[in-house]
Structure 1
Amino acid sequence: MSQYLLMNGLSNNDNGSQNSLSGSSNSTAILPSLSTSRSLSNGTTYSDDTLYAIHDGISNLNLSINKIDGELQQFRTEYETFNTTYEIHNQRKALLGVQDTHNEDLQMQERYMSVISKRNAMLHDLRSITLEYDSMQKSVINELRSWQRNQALAGNGATFRDNLDDIQRCIELLIEMIGKILDIVNTFQTKTLDTSNDLSELIAHVRNAQQLLILSSFIVEKQPPQVMKKKTKFVTGIRWLIGPQLGISANTPSVECIIMSAANTLPTSGDLENNTTLMDYDSQTRTFSGTFRTLQLWDIKRPERKGSETVTDEKFTLLFHTSVVVNDYKIKVWTLSLPVVVTVHGTQEPQAWATITWDNAFSSIMREPFQVPERVTWSQMAFALNIKFESITDEKLFPLKNANGEYNEYVTWTQFCKEKLPERSFTFWEWFFAIMKLTKEHCQSIWKAGLIMGFISKLKADELLRYSPVGTFLLRFSDSELGGITLAFKKAENWVLMLSPWTPRDLIIRGLADRIHDLPLLRVYPSNRSRDDAFGEFYTQRADNTIGADGYVSNTIKAYVPAIENAMDALGLQQEVQIPQQPGIPMDNVAQNEAGPVDIEMIINGANLNVSDIGWEIY
């Protein structure tokens, strides 16, 4: 996809009724749906239908395990009786001879075959139960991986449905169940009547399943900041979803945290302070967890970079590890955090967030850390941008078609954040990131009110206003000024003015709503609401028209665009504009384009004051 199309894909619907990305409202990416909670007969409540079904399946499988466990107890009695009888038979056989015990031999043979038959039948059932258990465990681990994937999406601002407690309940049941299966298999091993019937493979399989569950349930519950600045303290936390099972929690294991390069070229890639903690079990919440409250990265060792890579392309991860003993076996458990980018200066933040945003949005659950695709479809990209923008501004975009209506055209990583936009000094991501920052810090309420058209081009703005009444205006994000917002104004028939963009620096001096109030504008596109009706609630209050205790008269500044003023005067549409008050501070770079330079005048709010006392012209 060309970068012109990439920018133009961020366009509003022609009717301007919503802040959007252009075109249809379909999207290929879907966040997990929220479902109503469901309760089991024992009172356990699940907020997730899938986990409810898994729990139900585990309960049914547990009945089968209990059944075979009961059969095993009967078998042990029968086996021991047979074993005693067989020993007595062999003793009699030694005394009486083979001929005198022939009939007893036949009887013992029949009893032996009966015991073997029952044992093999139970063993067949046990193997079937083990296969069913494998399926249940796989489903629960998949749910846990989905939770971890959603955790990554939440790093981009997606709504996060935290069903970790539900997952833990299932894991605790599985821990108990695999322990029973292991006990049963070991019991079978001790009751071997035929050396050809070796159970070592089944025992190894069950133990591996148990270890996999123990390892998989060790997770990062609270992720570290994904853009991390050196020498800044942060908090992160791990959790082990096994609860009180296996007795591990009674030993309060110590967990260590280290930072590693995603390239795995160094065993450790930095110096972390306060990087150990003890895990603690809370019996009320049934959580077995540990928190690193004052982790601090003092130094970072960067691997050798390839080609055009920069420090903000480098991914690191926090590795948490500990060792425990389970069933006389020492197990080392570890888990990785989501990728982090380490910065040393605030100017690196936008590009660092490009790396993290791409990774969080487009990584797969079963990837090799931390591999991501080099390109994605426009529908995937638009969906990710929507999530990111909403998380920053509290208002949705709509991930729709690109300018050509193509969902499946590809956007590369290079186009996303490396290549400069045509005839621009910045990349697509720098442009988008600056708009998010501008919206959040300077015009979030106005954006949420639907008063900013936003992502439309200069040409499209001209087209929309050309057939609107004179005095109509709209606001759009600049595609030439990084982090700028600009006003398009219908001056006369077939004449649309485009003001030079207002930047965050300008909006610190005087806010967007007050700038709109300063100008004799009539109606906002597309709602056709009057300026004051649409923006009135966002105007700042007027200062008191009295002399302060210090003897000074309050003053403010206003935006003045001669081309707009003259146009409205010519039409006899000049409005009386009352200017809200702010502290008087210089304003520069307000706006110039076809409308010409903007004059900033000091407005004095003082009734019946002598001009000579003030030294400024009052009008």
Structure 2
Amino acid sequence: MTQWERLQQLDTVYSQRAFDLYNRDEFPMEVRHYLAHWIEGQDWERASRDSSQAAFLFQVLLENLDNQFSRFAQEKDSFLLQRNFRRYKQNFQKYQEEPYTLATIINWFLVKEREILNDAELAQQVQTLQVQPAAVELESQRQVEKSLKDLKTKVEVMEHSIRCLEEQQDEFDFKYQTHLMDSCTEEEKKMQVEGLQKMLNALDKCRRNFLSDISAMLDAADVLRSALIDEELVDWKRRQQKSCIGAPDDTSLEHLEKWFTQIIECMFQLQKFLQKLDELVGKMTYDNDPILVRKPPLKSRVDTLLTHLIKSSFVVETQPSMPQGRGPLVLRTNVQFSVKVRLLYKVSELNHVMKVTVSVNKFRKFNVLGTLSKALNMAESMNGGMVADFRHLTLKDQKVGGGGKGINDLSLSVTEELHRITFQTQFDYQGLSVPLETSSLPVVVVSNSSQQQSAWASVLWFNMLCSDPKNVKFFETSPAATWPQFGEMLSWQFLSCGKRGLDSDQLETLAIKLFGKQQSYDSCKISWTKFSKENLPDTNFTLWVWLDGILTLVKLYLSDLWSDGSIMGFVSKGKERLLLKKKQNGTFLLRFSESIKDGGITFSWVQYANDGTPSVQTVKPFTSTDLKQIALPDILCNFRIMVAENIPVNPLCYLYPNTPKDQAFGKYYSEKTGEENPYLKYLKTKLVFKSPMLSSSTTDDDMLNSILDSDSECTVPDAFPPTAPHISPSCLQHNFSESPLDIFADALSPDIDVNVTLHEFINSPDILNGINLRMLPEESDDFVLDSGLIQDLGYPNIPLTP
């Protein structure tokens, strides 16, 4: 498959980038399309540096254009392509003297195509949560694995060495006792003493070497401890923080649990070796015995390492969260939440032995209800790890003094107060006793659901900027976020809600909205106040409220459309017009409204006047109230405007850049008919959005059929001739019957009394009261809403009469 063919198979958002790339005159898309195989088979990078190679490719390119022109001449309906290819060849002639310039241009386009393909591949990996670990991460993990393997090998060698040392000492002791009991000559005794001295020297050397080996092992273990605790565990905790706010990071504890278990086992083995040395000293010692001097500090080092490792191995595996909450770390009083802790040292002897207790920091008074003590056990873990899963905890606010308000900075709101849930247990194993404690990430505790939106903003801000989970006073002096940090966090929110993050164009649109047009946004910063407290210009809501409304809309009603790239989402009005005015009649795009607090989505389309002047129309945004009643794909399918002779037509033909509407949204259309609707028992019907075609030229982006002034430089592309105003777009059907009564021909059962049934149907309080219904002809089976575009269903309860 060629690179060009791969580009054509990309999701809408990336195929759009490819179309935008070729929306220029340097290298026409049609040339790229019809000569794709030949173009990709040439070394344009070399030709850009080699004049002779560039000249050769230039001549071959012109020949290929001639050959393609000849093929078009033999085909029907290829007149425009013949004309275009003749013009393309004439345009390329200007590179006759500098063919390497054309080679540079073509190479640049191919490089940009590869960038789009790479971005699309990365986005696909993100969507499926298969983010490839960075090379640095893989290398660090390999280094840890290698160090652990070396450590375990050394422990095995030392186990053999301690046995040899014991045997060597037993042999010396036997010969020494024999020497004391033997009655022999002075000469023989002298020889025996010399032999014993050599054995003692050898034994002393072995003891010193063994102690040196333990010291070296502790040095290696300390390096490994630092890698595990100061790097790998810290990285995991940061990944967990980011995953709490939507990042697709791996938070599995499988590797850490294996590593901690292995190194702790090695340390306990060293502890046994030191105990064995105590036994050997108890049997035999001598002047300047190295064990007496060097063993105590070695034991202290082992105990310190073990203590540090075991304390660090007690972690919160799953952060506190409510079953139906806004997100992790947002808790509500009197509502149950769950949290899970894990000991990364797997040891079956401690199964159901260590009791974990729960408490909450004291500056705000809470009663913690539920099971406050659970044993670490292997039954609640899929892989047999040491886990305590608290599933039914509840916080109850103590109304003491100031109504439960904390004693922290009173300038902070309740949703800016951070609390830590603490877990404690006692580790007692093989003579080592260590108190263990770990805490959750800071949680925000609210008392009613209306506070969850602000609470989630606090959780996002803290976990985006702060890696210190103990900093519960973070919001007293909250730092600003850089645009790269902020943009990444926003992208995670859309990834969580709609399985696709924000692309570079969408992020740039948001950056321009916040900071204005900049060369680079890397140094731009946004404050906590601007994010969550100050209203956006000309609105009565904050940036976060606006974004959260859109996120909620995507999550509840638009996740499939957002995931497949059908929604452009964030695009400025100026760019929207620029994009659409260069496209064929009926091309439309979907974007989020900037003026609706709780989230709205609208669509705009381009249409051409009789003289070829393009105008962009925009409908009033749809909110959750609308989408709760009718899905957006059905709205797009059935949307109508009233044109000449009061005929309703659908002006939406192609999703930007050029995807046929039914191809883009057909799989989402509802197939339900009136027969399946209990409220529309007798008539086959469906709801259609319809509006009269206005002639006003008033520019109002938030109103239906607002006609935008055309820019003087905008012209209709040659390939898309204008459509006469009295003719509907070619993709629309407009063969309508003259009589609205034809609809009744086959719609009713012959056994039904038409007058009674129709009267009951129209006056039923359960159907669309207050809407003026006009029947479309028999072929369409549609209801048309003469009241205009539906924005909410709060119509007055006025019965209709036949």
Query: Residue 391 and residue 603 in structure 1: after superposition, are their counterparts in 2 closer, same or farther (change >3 A)?
Result: farther
Contact kept? 1:258, 1:272, Cα under 8 Å:
no
CA–CA separation in structure 1 for the residues paired with 2:543 and 2:147 = 49
Matched, 1:479 2:584: no
Distance 2:614 2:679 in 1: 52
Picking from 148, 153, 168, the partner of 2:237 is: 148
What secondary structure, in the 3-state scheme, does the structure 2 residue paired with 1:255 have? strand
AA of the residue aligned to 2:495: E
TM-superposed CA distance for 1:77, in Å, is: 4.5
CA gap 1:546/1:371 in 2 versus in 1, 3 angstroms = closer
Q: Tell me whether 1:297 sits opposite 2:395 in the alignment.
A: yes
Q: Report the secondary structure of 1:175's partner residue.
A: helix
Aligned to 1:272: 369
Please name the residue that 1:217 is paired with. Answer: 313
1:258 to 359, 366, 372: 359
Amino acid at match of 1:414: T
Which residue of structure 2 lines up, in the alignment, with residue 593 of structure 1? none
Supply the distance in 2 between the matched residues of 1:432 and 1:414 (Cα, whole angstroms): 15
Task: Structure 2 unaligned segments of length 5 or more: list them.
Answer: 1-12, 21-111, 183-188, 322-328, 399-403, 513-517, 641-649, 697-704, 706-722, 737-742, 744-765, 782-798
In the TM superposition, 1:128-527 aligns within 5 A as: 128-141=216-229, 142-161=231-250, 163-188=252-277, 191=281, 193=286, 194=288, 197-225=293-321, 226-244=329-347, 247-249=349-351, 252-260=353-361, 265=363, 269-282=366-379, 285-299=383-397, 301-306=404-409, 308-364=411-467, 368-369=470-471, 374-398=479-503, 402-403=511-512, 404=518, 405-482=520-597, 483-491=599-607, 492=609, 493-516=613-636, 517-519=638-640, 520-527=650-657
Compare 520-529 and 541-550 and name the one that shifted more: 541-550
1:566-586: per-residue Cα shift (whole Å, max 9, x none)?
98994421744799xxx8446
Give the corresponding residue for 2:728: 573
Q: How far does residue 524 in structure 1 lie from its aligned partner after superposition? A: 3.5
SS in 2 for 1:281: coil
Judging changes above 3 Å, is the alpha-carbon distance between structure 1 residues 486 and 179 closer, same or farther for their aligned structure 2 residues? same
Query: Secondary structure of the residue that 2:320 maps to in structure 1?
Result: coil
More strand by share: 1
Deviates more, 1:216-225 or 1:68-77: 68-77
Q: Deviation at 1:555?
A: 5.9
Shift of 1:291: 1.9
Provide closer, same or farther for how the CA distance between residues 240 and 561 of structure 1 changes in structure 2, counting only shifts above 3 A: same
Which deviates the most, 112-121 or 311-320?
112-121
Which amino acid is 1:220 matched to?
V
CA distance, structure 2, for counterparts of residue 486 and residue 526 of structure 1:
14
Q: Secondary structure at the match of 1:203?
A: helix
* Aligned-residue offset at 1:105: 9.0
Q: Name the CA shift for 1:35/1:154 in 2 (closer, same or farther; >3 Å).
A: closer
Between the aligned partners of 2:454 and 2:769, the Cα distance in structure 1 is 32
SS in 2 for 1:324: strand
Q: Deviations over 1:441-462 (max 9, x none)?
A: 1222222333322101222222
- What is the number of equivalent residue pairs in this alignment? 560
The residue that corresponds to 2:71 in the other structure is none
Change (3 A) 1:459 1:304: farther
Residues in 2 aligned to 1:353 and 1:201: alpha-carbon distance in whole angstroms: 50
Choose the corresponding residue for 1:118, options 199, 206, 227. 206
Shift of the 62–108 alpha-carbon distance from structure 1 to 2, 3 Å rule, reads same
* CA distances 1:287-330 after superposition (whole Å, capped 9, x unpaired): 22222232222336542342642111222232222123223343
Look up the SS of the partner of 1:199 in the other structure. Answer: helix
The 1-side partners of 2:582 and 2:138 are apart by: 52
By how many angstroms is 1:522 displaced?
Answer: 3.2
Distance in 1 between residues matched to 2:238 and 2:689, nearest whole Å: 48
Amino acid at match of 1:304: I
The structural deviation recorded for 1:466 is 3.3
Match of 1:602 in 2: 773
Pair 35,150 (structure 1): closer, same or farther in 2 beyond 3 Å: closer
- Residue-by-residue CA offset, 1:204-256 (whole Å, 9 max, x unaligned): 221021122222222223332122222222333222222225x322x532221
- Does structure 1 conserve the Cα–Cα contact (< 8 Å) formed by 2:674 and 2:682? no
SS class of match (1:66): helix
Whole-angstrom distance in 1 between the partners of 2:678 and 2:620 = 36
C-alpha offsets along residues 260-289 of structure 1, whole Å, 9 cap, x if unaligned? 3xxx646x7442322222232349943222
Q: Which amino acid aligns with 1:378?
A: W
Q: 79-88 or 504-513: which moved more?
A: 79-88
Q: Which one has the bigger helix percentage?
A: 2
- Whichever residue aligns with residue 727 of structure 2, its letter is G
CA RMSD of aligned residues (A): 4.4
- TM-score normalized by structure 1? 0.77
Structure-2 separation of matches of 1:257 and 1:132: 36
Distance verdict in 2 for CA 1:175–1:606, change over 3 Å? same
Residue 453 of structure 2: SS of its match in structure 1? helix
Q: CA deviation at 1:178?
A: 0.4
2:417 and 2:677 mapped to 1: Cα distance? 58
Distance 1:564 1:335, change over 3 A: farther
Q: Post-superposition shift, 1:189?
A: 5.2
Gaps in structure 1 of 5+ consecutive residues: 1-11, 37-46, 93-100, 588-599
Return the index of the structure with the highest Cα Rg: 2
Q: CA deviation at 1:85?
A: 7.9
Q: 1:113 to 1:253 in 2, by over 3 A?
A: same
1:544 to 674, 696, 705: 674
2:91 matched residue in structure 1: none
Q: Distance in 1 between matches of 2:605 and 2:541?
A: 27
Distance 2:620 2:776 in 1: 29
Distance 1:221 1:18 in 2: 46
Query: In structure 2, what residue type is equivalent to 1:289?
Result: V
Shift in Å, 1:389: 0.7
> Is 1:59 equivalent to 2:156 in the alignment?
no
